[in-house]
Amino acid sequence: MSSVSIKTEGLTKAYDGHTVLDNINLQINPGEFVCLLGPSGCGKSTLLRLIAGLDKPTKGKVFLDDRDITNLPCSKRNFGIVFQSYALFPNLSAYDNVTYGLKNRRMTKRQIEETANKYLEMVGLSGAKKRFPSQLSGGEQQRVALARALTIEPDFLLLDEPLSALDAKVRVKLRHEICSIQRELGITTIMVTHDQEEALTMADKIVVMDKAKLMQSGTPEEIYDHPQSRFVADFIGAINFYENEGETKAIRPEKIVINSLPGADSSEAVLTDIEFRGNFCRLSARSDAISKEHEFYIDLPTQRVRELKLCVGAPAFVNMPEAEVLHFGGASRS
């Protein structure tokens, strides 16, 4: 299966004077798994539709391997797409759903059968070929939709919140399977999601969007450890904001050091809550030395909480390592 690059230049979309996508410049490398991440209404699905050719931009261009495809019909772009709703034909078996897109291609019956069997096996549904969508679980239906998208051997794959309709355990299992298949095929893939955990665990590159704009793009590690704005820091993972000497600062809960005895540069705090989360606990604490207005959170391995004999109402001593503190300029209450 081929692998292509995708690029957008100044991509803008407006409806009735309302801008839903504002000057998006994006480079996606061949074989890259990219997640478009952001809150509802930020423009991520619109961006996906413009790349697919399902909609036309108000301004800007879309390139596929440096070829301008801005005005190319979606039927000529050779992509596979998987939707949140599965979009399977209820009156067709899993096999017939998968082969539906192959019927109008110049393929023999044997070629169609071999291709369908290949991708049904890849998604783990070789034994379910004769079953209808109503006889399949949600996860199985989404696997059929994925196999159908891949049988046409597309140049790139688009996933529009494909996991959001599934329960938590199935969602985790399927995201691992999607990543494994994507790596095996080496296909350039763009996935829309509002789930930060999905983006962090699946993507080679995360594109964070808000209010029609691209806020930051980078590897999951870059986005998490080096957010370029307060919005990105707050949207990706848990974080504590506090104000010090007229500046807004932030630190991840797992980066805070806590002890039951005072140490160098530590501040006294009072624990107001301990929330058990399995292998770790989320501690709520209050310290006037850090913030007179807000509690802050500390994530600590459960075993460490037991070793320190931490409990609600007891004093503790916390340290914000300077190397882990993020700085966001002037203090802001937004």
* pLDDT recorded at residue 278: 95
* pLDDT recorded at residue 333: 47
pLDDT above 70 covers a percentage of the chain that reads 98
Kindly state whether residue 311 falls inside one of the protein's structural domains. Answer: yes
DSSP 184-196: HHT-EEEEEES-H
Query: Model's pTM, two decimal places?
Result: 0.91
| pLDDT at residue 208 is higher than 50 | yes
Sheet holding 257-259, edge to edge: 257-259, 315-319, 267-276, 280-287, 291-301
Rounded to an integer, the average pLDDT of 268-282 is 96
Kindly state whether residue 293 falls inside one of the protein's structural domains. Answer: yes
Domain with 154, as residue range(s), is 6-231
Co-location of 182 and 321 in the same domain: no
* pLDDT recorded at residue 331: 56
Co-location of 211 and 290 in the same domain: no
| Burial class of residue 70 (count of CB atoms within 10 Å of its CB; 0-12, 13-18, 19+) | middle
DSSP 249-315: EEE-GGG-EEESS--TT-EEEEEEEEEE-SSEEEEEEEETTTEEEEEEEEEEEHHHHHHHT--TT-E
**Residues 164-191: tens digit of each pLDDT:** 889 999 999 999 999 999 999 999 999 9
**Residues 81-98: tens digit of each pLDDT:** 999 888 899 999 999 999
**Residues 9-32: tens digit of each pLDDT:** 999 999 988 999 999 999 999 999
Kindly state whether residue 1 falls inside one of the protein's structural domains. Answer: no
Give the span between the Cα atoms of 255 and 272, in whole angstroms. Answer: 19
* pLDDT recorded at residue 292: 84
pLDDT above 90 covers a percentage of the chain that reads 85
Q: Are 89 and 97 in contact (CB under 8 A)?
A: yes
Co-location of 10 and 142 in the same domain: yes
Q: Which helix (H) or strand (E) holds 146?
A: helix 138-151
Q: Are 326 and 275 in contact (CB under 8 A)?
A: no
Co-location of 258 and 139 in the same domain: no
* CB neighbour list of residue 333: distance below 8 Å, 6 or more residues apart: none
**Residues 128-148: tens digit of each pLDDT:** 999 999 999 999 999 999 999
Q: Are 42 and 211 in contact (CB under 8 A)?
A: yes
Number of domains in the chain: 2
Where a domain ends, among 196, 231, 266? 231
Give the span between the Cα atoms of 329 and 31, in whole angstroms. Answer: 37
Token digits of residue 195: 């789930």
| pLDDT at residue 324 is higher than 50 | yes
Residue with tokens 């450890």: 225
* pLDDT recorded at residue 106: 81
Number of H helices, E strands in the chain: 9, 18
pLDDT band at 334 (very low <50, low <70, confident <90, very high): very low
Give the span between the Cα atoms of 224 and 242, in whole angstroms. Answer: 18
| pLDDT at residue 309 is higher than 50 | yes
Torsion of CA 126, 129, 135, 137, to 10 degrees: 40
**Residues 102-128: tens digit of each pLDDT:** 887 888 999 999 999 999 999 999 999
* pLDDT recorded at residue 332: 52
Co-location of 268 and 292 in the same domain: yes
The DSSP output letter for 237 is S
* pLDDT recorded at residue 1: 67
